[in-house]
Amino acid sequence: MQLVDNYQRRFQYLRLSITELCNFQCQYCLPNGYRPNKAHKFLSLSEINNVVATFTELGVRKIRLTGGEPTLRRDFMDILSMISAYPSVKELAITTNGSRLLKNIHNWHQAGLNAINISIDSLSPHLFKLITGQDKLKELMQCVDRSLEVGIKKVKINTVLMKNMNDNLDDYLSWIKCHPVELRFIELMETGESLEVFNRYHQSGSLIETQLIAQGWQLQSKNPLSGPAKVYVHDDYQGKIGLIMPYSKDFCKSCNRLRVSSIGKLHYCLFGDAAVDLRDLLQSPAQQQQLIARIFSSLMIKPEKHLLHAHNVGITPNLSYIGG
């Protein structure tokens, strides 16, 4: 069985949120910090195991753990070890703000982690603190080096593009020249709580793309497990530059990922207007066939594309809710 929707898109990539909790205060996500929702009880280790067992049975080969900040879970190592034990999982990745990375990345790698995205929204200490509410840029740059040292093959840097804040390509090129990482500019996306920030700071990634092409960067071909980024390479640079542009034409055409939230809801789109609750079918492995049936039925209502251009942001209040 394979996960294919009505538009013949095949899904081999699961983004699994394991907590909404975050310890940063990024302007575009949680500017006032994380505020607990007492009604939300995050998935247990056994429930996560049933999610993974089912989606790998359906052809998922890449799993990315997100949040919130996924590494804040006390059982994070157990989650990594459990998922990496599935031989069909070819890539086990996390997206992290890096706050717990420096001391733990070796153990995480030993537990099966083989890809990591670190959020670094500026290479300027002042702007980094302004955007994230944290004075941790120096530590995060050390985290990048440490991740490469321990043998993580895929190290990516996530930078949410913000107009007149961090949108100067030249600020990044000298660093990329000698670091074998992929720096990804992500267009700022509107969510239910971020309209004011979006209107003030949204910047199209096409401006960066035009500059890259003019400077001789070449578009790299994608592999089936890749995310939505358009990745550019240059012979003179060890690093790559990726662009995630959800407001660009046909962005949704190559969608290959599904999302399960930290409270067990299947989101067929980051900006969908509905989610399907799976949690009642995550209590026992004996429920797997029922769970599969529900997943397939929900996949049939996945829309062709999001409606961000019409400012329809769906049910996502902020990106920590189901992972960006």
Distance CA 237, CA 241 (A): 10
pLDDT at 307: 62
The Cβ of residue 173 has, within 10 Å, a number of other Cβ atoms equal to 18
Going by C-alpha positions, the residue among 216, 118, 136, 123 that lies closest to residue 171 is: 123
In 3D, which of 248, 244, 247, 240 has the Cα closest to residue 257? 244
Residue 148 parent element (H or E): helix 137-150
pTM of the model: 0.94
Q: What is the C-alpha separation between 24 and 101, in angstroms, rounded?
A: 14
Strand (E) or helix (H) holding 187: strand 182-187
Q: Give buried/exposed letters for 73-111 (b at 16+ CB in 10 A, else e).
A: beebbebbebbbebeebebbbbbbbbbbbbeebeebbeb
> What local confidence, expressed as pLDDT, does residue 269 receive?
81
> How confident is the model at residue 72, as a pLDDT?
97
Give the contacts of 205 (CB within 8 A, at least 6 positions apart). Answer: 161, 185, 186, 187, 243, 244, 245, 248
Q: What is the pLDDT of residue 320?
A: 65
Looking at residue 301, its pLDDT comes to 85
Distance of alpha carbon 232 from the chain centroid: 19
Give the per-residue pLDDT at 305: 78
Q: Which two tokens stand for residue 324?
A: 């960006």
Task: Convert the pLDDT of each residue in 72-130 to its tens digit.
Answer: 999 999 999 999 999 999 999 999 999 999 999 999 999 999 999 999 999 999 999 99
Question: Which of the residues in the chain have pLDDT under 70?
Answer: 307, 310-316, 318-321, 323-324
Helix (H) or strand (E) holding 57: helix 45-57
Q: Tell me the C-alpha distance between 51 and 218, whole Å.
A: 38
Query: 54 by DSSP, 3-state: which?
Result: helix
Q: How far apart are CA 258 and CA 266, in angstroms?
A: 8
Going by C-alpha positions, the residue among 67, 58, 52, 81 that lies closest to residue 12 is: 58
Cis ω before 242 (30° cut-off from 0): no
- Closest listed residue to residue 82, CA positions, set 2, 39, 18: 18
Asked if 50 contacts 295 with a C-beta cutoff of 8 angstroms, the reply is: no
Other beta carbons within 10 Å of 240: 19
Tokens 């944290």 correspond to 134
C-alpha torsion 245→247→253→258, nearest 10: 70
Q: Cβ distance 80 to 319 under 8 Å?
A: no
Q: What is the pLDDT of residue 104?
A: 97
Q: How far is CA 158 from the centre of its chain?
A: 9
